[in-house]
Amino acid sequence: MNDPWLDTLVTATPQEGFELAVLLSRRAVRYTQPDLSILKKLRPEYADSADGLTAASQVVAINFQTVAAANNYWRP
């Protein structure tokens, strides 16, 4: 996971920014738990958890704030 993949936080649209925020969030999970078999094993524990899903949404929202700020909130 040491190969560079994130060149910029700048995106053309808010939609692209949101998609980048989701990607950042997913990549963070993979960095935290690189063993795919463990990730799949644990998924049922949080997939049906309202608290777990809310926490995941919060992480995406925080990442979206970061991307939006980097894009000057898409204002000219």
**How many Å apart are CA 57 and CA 30, to the nearest integer?**
16
| pLDDT for 47 beyond 90 | no
Q: How far is CA 32 from the centre of its chain?
A: 13
| pLDDT for 1 beyond 80 | no
| pLDDT for 18 beyond 70 | yes
Contact 21, 64 (CB under 8 A): yes
Structure tokens at 14: 């808010």
Question: Cβ–Cβ contacts within 10 Å for residue 56, how many?
Answer: 17
Contact 20, 9 (CB under 8 A): yes
Average pLDDT over residues 47-56: 93
Q: Name the DSSP class of 74.
A: G
Average pLDDT over residues 10-39: 96
Between 76 and 6, the more confident residue is: 6
What is the pTM for the complete model shown? 0.88
| pLDDT for 55 beyond 80 | yes
